Structure 1
């Protein structure tokens, strides 16, 4: 079976409200399970692809500061 993980994750959250998306993200982070990481990665990929250069720079600055 050829499972497209990106597609499955996108289908799983398609049509969700902002509140539902936030709950999904918060739950994945608080739960701390490794199996949730691919889903967060796909969501981040979607955010990155639809962000302006200014937003990308802000995310990179936040990430860099978080790693200090």
Structure 2
């Protein structure tokens, strides 16, 4: 089976509204299922690739602070 996970995830959420995207993210996190992690990674990749340097720095700061808890 030749499945491209990245393309499948992007295909499944392309055209979704912000509310739908938020629901997808929240559901994936709340489910706590390991199988959802790659999909969240793909979504983060899209965010990172489309973020400004300022936004990237803010994400890194938030991540760093979250990992100190």
Per the normalisation by structure 2, the TM-score is: 0.97
What are the residue-to-residue correspondences of 1:1-68 with 2, within 5 Å? Answer: 1-68=1-68
Question: Structure 2: which 5+ residue stretches go unaligned?
Answer: none
Question: Structure 1: which 5+ residue stretches go unaligned?
Answer: none
Moved over 2 A (4+): none
- How many positions carry a matched residue from both structures? 68
Alpha-carbon distance, 1:2 to partner: 1.1
